[in-house]
A and B are shown apart, each in its own frame.
Chain A
Amino acid sequence: MPVGPYGALLDAVRGVRWPARRPVPGGAPGAHQARSRGIAPEFAEYRPYRQGDDTRRIDWKLLARSDRAFIRLAPDQAILGTTFIVDASASMDFPGGSADAGKWLLAKRLVIALAAAAHGGADPVGLIVASGAGVQRLAPRTRRGVIAEMARTLDDTRPVGSAPLAPLVPASRSRCVVVTDCLGDLDALRAALARHRARGGEAHVLHVVARAELEPAATAVMATDPEDPACQRPLLATTRAAYRDGFDAFRAETARAMLIDGVHYHEVVDDDAPEIVVRRIVMPVMAR
């Protein structure tokens, strides 16, 4: 599988699986526990026979003993489609000029690593990349090579402009992973994810933050928003503390709101190791 620069990362997350946080709707057989009961070898419970049931599922021995017809049920396993919505707006290309760091690089690595973890559980994975240049979609698939295709798509994308993410949230009861810096249509995104969650889907938000945003350089600069050049603010010694306070409050409020909406919120910093972040996301209890 040609995955380019992600080989080492994929090796690091090999064997990692991403179980669903709760039973998934029934569907094609997969690795996640489904809310439906199926015909798997493992016994779960009996149910009285109803007209229309497959007679092959009647427990004949129990019928002989009790003279009553019961259907033998077993826990069902289903797949959980996972769609990655990647924010490729201009703000994700920060700090620019570095191939080894930055929000965009971390976003790409996390998407590939998490997709690999999901794909390893036979889940179909898909990709939606939203940038100022347009939206690219890769429908969720389980076939081999989907990870490489996602990697190529991400590598060919250059973060520019701005694009809303809320309309891209899928309507299916799948797993939706939004990788963003939360500097775009955050309120609309929250509402869309809340609806997705209410439909029975699973929602994750990976809030990508740059270290340079947390601790800006001490030199005085006129901070300019790459998505809104008209927004220019003087980042001086006198305003640096207020900036930090404001940004900290924003992140805390975002995390709190996501928690209320039932969205799994993960803040990641661009100098974090992606393989560790992946484990923290897919196995939150173990990671803690």
Chain B
Amino acid sequence: MTFLSPWPLLLSGAVALGVVALHLLTTRRPPAAVLPTARFVPLAEARAVARTSRPTDLLLLALRVLAVLLIGAAFARPVFDAAGPAVRTVVMLDISRAVADPAAARALAETEIGEGGALVVFDSAARELPLDSLATVGPGRGAIGYLSPALVVARRAAARIARGADSVRLVLVSPLVDGALDAATPVFRAAWPGRLDLRRVAAATDTARGAPATLVTALEDDPLAPAVADVGGLRGGHRVRIVRESTGAVTGVAAGASDADVVVYWPATFEDSIVPAGVTAFDPAGTGSATIVAPLARLSVDAAAASDGARVIARWNDGTAAAVQVPAGENCVRYVGVGVPLSGDLTLRAPFTRFLETLLAPCNGVVGAPLAGSDVDWLASTAPLASAAVLAASSPAQGDRWPLILLAIATVLLVAEVFARRRRIE
């Protein structure tokens, strides 16, 4: 048994000693002694405090001491130690598309994790998995494994497995590509009370370019055509189809049935609705953005934004949605509400090319380049392993019923003490 917060137990021990000391004092009637001049003693309360060599009222003393100790033990958060090694390991396994060889990463995690450890897998989100599922865990859909949520889940898992251990080792198996770290990562890293063993694996960076996007349009001189040509082969090797129709007019082009990984509905624009505006497109992985400021037409994407799983991938400067991505199985459909003027050279400018390339990114974003070693060295440190006691004490012992059981027993003892005291008085 381990006490996560031993101070209440020590305090209750001191209180119990005080109770014993009080039982060595008795306030009973003093012993009678002959004194012929007793008549000159003033009348007073015939009770005096006296010390005794043996505690009085052993039953009451036992009940009180036990109750005090049990209350202290309950607040000391007792846990029964689970069997296992003294050092346990939490492995954070990156399962995003940034991992070039997921099988090798799994094998590395398996060698690191050991008995009694915990497995945390993460890409755009993090979750803890049972150890026996390590062999079957599949690749995630996210382009990048984000470290911050992984650290949070790892801390929670470490608090769970820390009971009964001396220390906990934290191992990160990830390629750590650009975008894996964010502003919160240093905070969560600092919250881990020990060192982090970094095991970097090969990254699958989306550097190769595949085929250019396919533009389906009824316009003879579609202004998007030169921009699509400028973008050229898409980074990530996915296939994109741009449909210059409204969604209702398109038939037979379902994302699942399409030969494209990404279908972009981008209606044409009426010239009279164009006003100067700014719009920013975000890479779905959150690694980049592109902004254009030009005469543009605002087209509504509210209907698409109301779909299940819809997420905004471009916003007007006033915060309203300019483009929405809706998942469709393994693929996705994007609805763009940015009206491009049919005339002018907007689509020929470099900002628009970057804007278009961002809108044509893979559904889960583009995998960035691996971070330099100097950028991630601060993650690891020469600090000792995290103390299991610190980890366990910082987390509430969920599911532990022992404090409640001890408090219940203490309550029963206190009730018994009341009855015993009444009986003694009678």
Contact = CB atoms under 8 A, between A and B. Distances in A.
A134 interface: no
A222 B44 contact: no
B35 A239 contact: no
Contacts of A183: 36-37, 39
B46 A231 contact: no
A242 B38 CA distance: 12
A250 B40 contact: yes
Interface stretch (B25-33, B79-87, B324-332): B25-33
Interface string B324-368: 000000000000000000000000000000000000000000000
Interface residues of A, number: 34
A233 B43 contact: yes
B42 A224 contact: no
Interface string A229-259: 0011111101100110011001000000000
A239 B42 contact: yes
Given A243-B41, A246-B42, A224 B34 contact: yes
Interface residues of B, number: 21
B221 interface: no
Contacts of B42: 233, 239, 242-243, 246
Contacts of B41: 223, 233-235, 239, 242-243, 246
Contact of B44 (A212, A239, A247): A239
Contact of A232 (B37, B45, B46): B46
Contacts of A91: 36
A227 interface: yes
A222 B29 contact: yes
Interface string A88-110: 00111011100000000000000
B281 to A, nearest CB: 90
Contact of B48 (A90, A94, A220, A243): A220
Contacts of A250: 40
Contacts of A247: 37, 40
A44 to B, nearest CB: 50
B44 A232 contact: no
A91 B37 CA distance: 8
B36 A222 contact: no
A77 B50 CA distance: 65
A212 B34 CA distance: 11
A239 B38 CA distance: 11
Contacts of B33: 221-224, 235
Interface in A150-183: 181, 183
Nearest to A96: B34
A226 interface: yes
Given A213-B35, A225-B35, A243 B30 contact: no
A69 B374 CA distance: 156
A2 interface: no
Given A96-B34, A226-B36, 8 more contacts: A212-B35, A221-B30, A221-B31, A222-B30, A224-B32, A224-B35, A234-B46, A243-B40
A47 B194 CA distance: 132
B33 to A, nearest CB: 4
